[in-house]
Amino acid sequence: MLSQVEIKDWLQTRLSEKRFSHSLGVAQEAERLAKHYGADPQKAYLAGLVHDCAKEVSKDETMVQLSAFDIVPDVAAAAAPWLLHGTLGACVAKQEFGIEDEEILDAIRYHTTGKADMSLLARIIFIADFIEPGRTYPDVAMLREMTYQNLEEAMLFGIDYTIELLVKKKMIIHPDTIHCRNDLMIELTAKGKQGIMHEN
């Protein structure tokens, strides 16, 4: 596996300054969250560092590279190709950086859409992407505070925020995001943390 310095050099030559800074911010936030919640800080930092390694690959090139990895996107992702950088990113992390840890690769793969039954590391990368220090959207300060109190409630807030935005923009919501939300709702309800609205 490449060293952290080598990976940073690779990223810095292929990402914009803003994207590289974001990647460093996610890595640092993920490391802090891992220490807070008892995950592996080194794995969290590495996953956060490389999570957007394929973010600035063009749509056409993304499809070409995924094809080279024998990956055929599902219908929703193919219609919303901006979602595919996580899938491609996991492939790049394995091929270019030599990362073999499946937990890290899975966290990279699903850091945008989420999915049902996410590992603690995957959850940390997902929410670190929302709250890293460079983020400035409304409610981010509140979400940062929430994240260190209850990781799952923070994820649910982040997903609801995203879904609301996507609905307003009439954009596709990937089924993995819905599955992630439902999984969190079931988990939180079982813990007595969150109510579920029932149909009459």
User: What would the two tokens of residue 170 be?
Assistant: 């009439």
Length of the chain as a residue count: 200
Query: What's the CATH code of the domain at 115?
Result: 1.10.3210.10
CA dihedral over 42, 71, 60, 116, signed as positive or negative: negative
Q: Smallest Cα–Cα separation from 152: which of 129, 111, 175, 120?
A: 120
Structure confidence at residue 35 (pLDDT): 98
pTM: 0.95
Which range marks the domain in which residue 56 is found? Answer: 4-136
Structure confidence at residue 186 (pLDDT): 96
In a domain, 154, yes or no: no
34, 40 Cβ separation under 8 angstroms: yes
pLDDT at 199 over 50: no
DSSP state of 82: G
Structure confidence at residue 200 (pLDDT): 35
- Percent with pLDDT over 70 in the chain: 96
> In Å, how far are 83, 176, 192 from 74, measured between CA atoms?
11, 11, 35
Chain CA centroid to CA 95, Å: 19
In a domain, 172, yes or no: no
**Considering its fold, how many domains does the chain have in total?**
1
In a domain, 21, yes or no: yes
DSSP state of 70: T
Residue 190 confidence class, pLDDT cut points 50, 70, 90: very high
The model's pLDDT over 59-111, given as tens digits with 9 standing for 90+, comes to: 999 999 999 999 999 999 999 999 999 999 999 999 999 999 999 999 999 99
d(CA 81, CA 67): 14
d(CA 34, CA 51): 16
d(CA 133, CA 110): 21
pLDDT at 195 over 70: no
The model's pLDDT over 116-134, given as tens digits with 9 standing for 90+, comes to: 999 999 999 999 999 999 9
In a domain, 196, yes or no: no
Assign 67 to helix, strand or coil.
helix
In a domain, 16, yes or no: yes
Q: Which residue has the higher pLDDT, 48 or 193?
A: 48
51, 107 Cβ separation under 8 angstroms: yes
Structure confidence at residue 192 (pLDDT): 86
Mean pLDDT of 13-21: 98
In a domain, 85, yes or no: yes
